[in-house]
Amino acid sequence: MATTAASTAAAFACASRLSTSPAVPRPSVWSSSSSLRAFPRGVAARRRAAMAARSAVLTVRAEATTKKSVLIVNTNAGGHAVIGFYFAKELLAAGHAVTVLTVGDEASDKMKKPPFSRFSELTSAGGKTVWGDPADVGAAVGGASFDVVLDNNGKDLDAVKPVADWAKATGVGQFLFISSAGIYRPTDEPPHVEGDAVKESAGHVGVEKYIAEQFGSWAAFRPQYMIGSGNNKDCEEWFFDRIVRKRPVPIPGNGMQLTNIAHVRDLATMLALAVESPGAAAGRIFNCVSDRAVTLDGMARLCAAAAGADIVIVHYEPAAIGVEAKKAFPFRNMHFYAEPRAAKEVLGWTSTTNLPEDLKERYAEYASSGRGDKAMTFDLDDKILVALEKAPASVTV
């Protein structure tokens, strides 16, 4: 469409301000994909108007939707793996038909870890789980076609292009992509909001631009960190490991760096709303995060509170000690804070993450897992602590 170029440009334009206009009720004609095909010029006109006004505030009525067939192409490891799991559950609960295509082999050792080890929860709810190569989705799904595809796997165009091209060729109505809030350029003025400048060289940016060109109905979701049962990557566990062993918790810098840690259920509900309101979601970028930031020190404190334990936090300067913060600490050593403004305005989404409460549930699972009793080494921690003893931090910064 002629306007996709405009929408691409507008979606990636640097905007230092998020502006909105008063909410207007949305006509329900936009909500189903068949309506979109019937009113392509109407859709284009709406997008033009929205872009001209920078953004339109739309209230969405999550109506009784037609059931959709959704394909989730899911990564087989890492922090984002759990997103597909929760999203699948959310869709299945709403009565949609779900297939999860996990990259690689079903027999792989990676499948012994959560969330993959819990895929029976998907199949017992009516979901299909298949394995294969995203370079040949058609083969992996046995020639099936879908209304919606979510790529929760690729970090660059090499990985996603085959999926996108297959989706387009088979007439997929809506293409969704799990991108990353890590692509935002660092700023003096947090939070990162949709429309802010991104690192143009980032792989995810290339993907976002490509799907914007290829699909009328596309949306990109930029997450940060997640907690939630079934997570493939440690998050809160890093703190619990130290807290239960009564070890000091080394945090780089002054611990005031803000980050965003969401319960993965929030990401799932946001994605589900996009599926159920494709017109509202079309052409949009969504920060897929909770609506509260937490400081690094704060996260440590909340974990300790959840464990009902004391905590000693020590701060250190990675460069001064000769450790890489990336290896020593699981969160970015800087403000890394996006807000989910678009999802709230455009999808009517609300955040339910409540870290103090959610971490209690996380701790209960941690405690019952026996992980707290396992022998663990803390080489980098020890290196940091030794260095701090030798040269006690002369305060700051």
Partner 1 sequence: MAATASLKSSLLLPSPISDFNGAAVSISTQKRRRSWQPRGARMQVLAAADSKNILVMGGTRFIGVFLSRLLVKEGHQVTLFTRGKAPITQQLPGESDAEYTEFSSKILHLKGDRQDFDFVKTSLAAKGFDVVYDINGREAVEVEPILDALPNLEQYIYCSSAGVYLKSDLLPHCETDAVDPKSRHKGKLKTESLLTSRDVNWTSIRPVYIYGPLNYNPVEEWFFHRLKAGRPIPIPGAGNQITQLGHVKDLAAAFIKVLGHPKASQQIFNISGAKYVTFDGLARACAKAGGFPEPELIHYNPKDFDFGKKKAFPFRDQHFFASVEKATRELGWTPEFDLVEGLTDSYNLDFGRGTFRKEADFTTDDMILGKKLAAV
Residues that bind partner 1 (CB under 8 A): 16-23, 53, 57, 187-191, 193, 253-254, 256-258, 291-295, 297-299, 301-302, 335, 341, 344-345, 355, 395-397
Q: What type of residue sits at position 392?
A: P
* Residue 211 Cβ vs partner 1, minimum distance, rounded to whole Å: 28
Q: Reply yes or no: is the peptide bond before residue 22 cis, omega within 30 of 0.
A: no
258 or 380: whose CB is closer to partner 1? 258
Rounded CA-CA distance 166/104 in Å is: 18
20 or 229: whose CB is closer to partner 1? 20
Using the structure block, give the residue that is written with the tokens 């700023």: 187
Helix (H) or strand (E) holding 122: helix 120-123
* Residue 395 CA to its chain's centroid (Å): 36
109 or 188: whose CB is closer to partner 1? 188
Q: What is the DSSP string of 13-54?
A: S--S-------EEPPGGGSSHHHHHH-HHHHHHHHHHHHHTS
Is the Cα torsion angle 250, 253, 258, 260 positive or negative in sign? negative
55, two tokens = 């953004």
Q: What is the DSSP string of 313-358?
A: EEEE-HHHHT--HHHH-SS-SS---B--HHIIIII-------HHHH
Kindly list the distances between the CA atom of residue 62 and the CA atoms of 38, 276, 359, in Å, as whole numbers in the listed order.
20, 7, 30
Using the structure block, give the residue that is written with the tokens 């990401």: 267
350 or 369: whose CB is closer to partner 1? 350
Is the Cα torsion angle 69, 121, 72, 262 positive or negative in sign? positive
Q: Are 223 and 181 in contact (CB under 8 A)?
A: yes
Other beta carbons within 10 angstroms of residue 191's beta carbon come to 22
22 or 143: whose CB is closer to partner 1? 22
* Residue 17 Cβ vs partner 1, minimum distance, rounded to whole Å: 5
31 or 290: whose CB is closer to partner 1? 290
**In the beta sheet, which residues pair with residue 176?**
150, 219
253 or 283: whose CB is closer to partner 1? 253
161 or 265: whose CB is closer to partner 1? 265
153 or 295: whose CB is closer to partner 1? 295
Using the structure block, give the residue that is written with the tokens 């165009």: 157
